[in-house]
Amino acid sequence: MEVGDDWVPCFPEFPNISCWMPPPPWPETLFINITLYSISVLTAVLNLLIIISISHFRQLHTPTNILLLSLAVSDFLVGLLVMPADVSMCWLFGDLLCSLYRFVSDIIFSVSVVNMVLISVDRYVAICDPLHYTTRITMNRVRVCVCLLWFCSVAYNSYFFNLHIFQQQEHTSFCYGDCFALIHEAGAFLHLVLNLIVPVTAIIVLYTRVFVVAVSQARAMRSHITAVTKQISVTKTAKKSELKAARTLGVLVVVFLMCFTPVYFGNMTVEYESSISYSTVYFIMYLYNFNSCLNPLIYALFYPWFRKTVRHIVTLQILQPGSCEANIL
């Protein structure tokens, strides 16, 4: 990473071994920090509202919403733990907490990616094979998938957590105040394949198919064409609500990919390219995290039930007996 002549050390008492950061123009820095911390709080609060809504109201206990609940938990952890740590230009909490921070961040990262794949699979079955949706996508199966998702993410990233600690102990060229991941080339390639190429390819393929089928369904419903083949008769049975859900979750997936893909390639660049500017590094580190704040805003924009549940929560109606049975759909 480029270091300017006017940069200052993160640890002024140890300038020879300290990382360096741009000189802080305090008015701008104060404004930026307040803004980023506010976004962090907003992200945690909005996703907590989603967690409470889906967990409390029985009408929202559907397979699709279980996946959204899992995504909201990971987004909540981003706002609670990851975003505040990323605001600081220098890491001041030591190597062990750095490794733990990277470990938690990578778990959340992996969970979010696979969650999007599962959401794409859910919409694919709902739109392309609606007659078998209720038998193939059940609550129990989705719960098992979500539990396996979190367990496998923890197990997968535990390897890199141990590797990160080992390399911190062995690697003496890194400065104090830096908390970038230390991944060898084989590990970086594995991350690239499992966290980018495979899931993004699956998401694009599934949603391309969903889009094609959804367009054909919309045309069939508008023209009231009588089904003459098995495929057409099946696709026409999908409800308008399923099409709306596909569009909404499609927006969710597209926004995720827009925030996710540049950040991943940016982090890969940071590992091997020393000429990347500090502002670019800071931007790509926060871009993906900001997606966790956008998700609940997408729910509020497209899901009337979310706005209703927020009113119930804010007005404390959920504390009343039987509130979990309220009609919010």
* pLDDT range class, residue 236, cuts 50, 70, 90: very low
Above 70 in pLDDT, residue 209? yes
Q: Tell whether the model's pLDDT for residue 109 goes beyond 80.
A: yes
Mean pLDDT of 56-79: 93
What is the separation of C-alpha 21 from the centre of its chain, rounded to a whole number of angstroms? 28
**What angle do helix axes 26-56 and 278-302 make, rounded to 10 degrees?**
30
Reported as a pLDDT band with limits 50, 70 and 90, residue 315 is very high
48 has pLDDT over 90 = yes
- What is the arithmetic mean of pLDDT over 35-59? 92
Q: What is the pLDDT of residue 243?
A: 62
Residue where the block lists tokens 């008015």? 27
Q: What is residue 95's predicted lDDT score, i.e. its pLDDT?
A: 75
Give Cβ neighbours of residue 12 (< 8 Å, ≥ 6 apart): 18
Q: Tell me which residue of 139, 145, 244, 258 sits closest to 200, measured CA to CA.
A: 258
CB 129 within 8 A of CB 136: yes
Q: Which domains does the chain have, with CATH numbers?
A: 29-325 (1.20.1070.10)
Contact criterion met (CB below 8 Å) for 59 and 327? yes
Supply 90's token pair: 């220098």
What is the residue-averaged pLDDT of the chain? 78
Q: Token pair for residue 251? A: 């927006």
Q: How far apart are CA 130 and CA 213, in angstroms?
A: 11
Residues 238-272 have pLDDT tens digits of 456 666 666 777 788 888 878 877 766 655 555 44
Cβ within 8 Å of residue 297, ≥6 positions away? 46
Average pLDDT over residues 84-109: 81
On the question of pLDDT at 125 being above 70, the answer is yes
Give backbone dihedrals phi and psi of 176, rounded to 5 degrees, phi first: -80, 130
CA distances from 211 to 22, 95, 217, 250 (A): 46, 46, 10, 9
- The whole-angstrom separation of Cα 233 and Cα 321 is 44
What value does the mean pLDDT take over residues 267-282? 55
Sorting pLDDT into bands at 50, 70 and 90, what band is 146? very high
Q: Are 166 and 159 in contact (CB under 8 A)?
A: no
The CA distances from residue 157 to 139, 162, 175, in Å, are 27, 9, 24
Q: What is the mean pLDDT of residues 74-99?
A: 83
Least-confidence region, from 21-25, 109-113, 148-152: 21-25
SS3 (DSSP) at 93: coil
Burial of 304 (0-12, 13-18, 19+ CB in 10 A): exposed
